[in-house]
Amino acid sequence: MKYRILLKVAASCLGLAALAAPWAPAVADLVADEHGIAVKQSDVPTPTRGMTMEQVSRKFGAPSTKIPAVGNPPISRWQYPGFVVYFESDYVIHSVVADS
């Protein structure tokens, strides 16, 4: 199964400062193709960076699979139909959408 990485990007992507900007984020997916990397809007609702495990559970329900934390800092993942959520400790760091 292929996955697309969801990124938080500012409306203007004219430099690294725009990527770090905390205002006006939009969710987009980054997809590699034969011409390089393309960014497309995603219509799949996924947890946003910074949500807690409890908030994800309340909003999206129980995951189909929970992969225990490994490493330092502890990184765990929850698998849902259509996407995977990565956590550092109790907080979302990435959501990855399955390629359809």
Q: Where are the domains of the chain?
A: 3-98
Question: What is the phi/psi pair of residue 17, to 5°?
Answer: -60, -35
Which 3-state string (H, E, C) describes 18-56?
HHHCCCCEEEEEEEEECCEEEEEECCCCCCCCCCEHHHH
Name the residue with higher pLDDT: 44 or 90.
90
pLDDT value for 11: 35
pLDDT in tens, 10-66: 333 344 444 444 443 445 556 677 777 665 657 889 999 999 999 999 999 999 999
For residue 7, name the pLDDT band (cuts at 50, 70, 90).
very low
The H or E element containing residue 57 is helix 53-60
Name the residue with higher pLDDT: 42 or 79.
79
- Lay out the sheet containing 91-98: strands in order across: 36-41, 25-33, 3-10, 91-98, 83-88, 75-80, 65-70
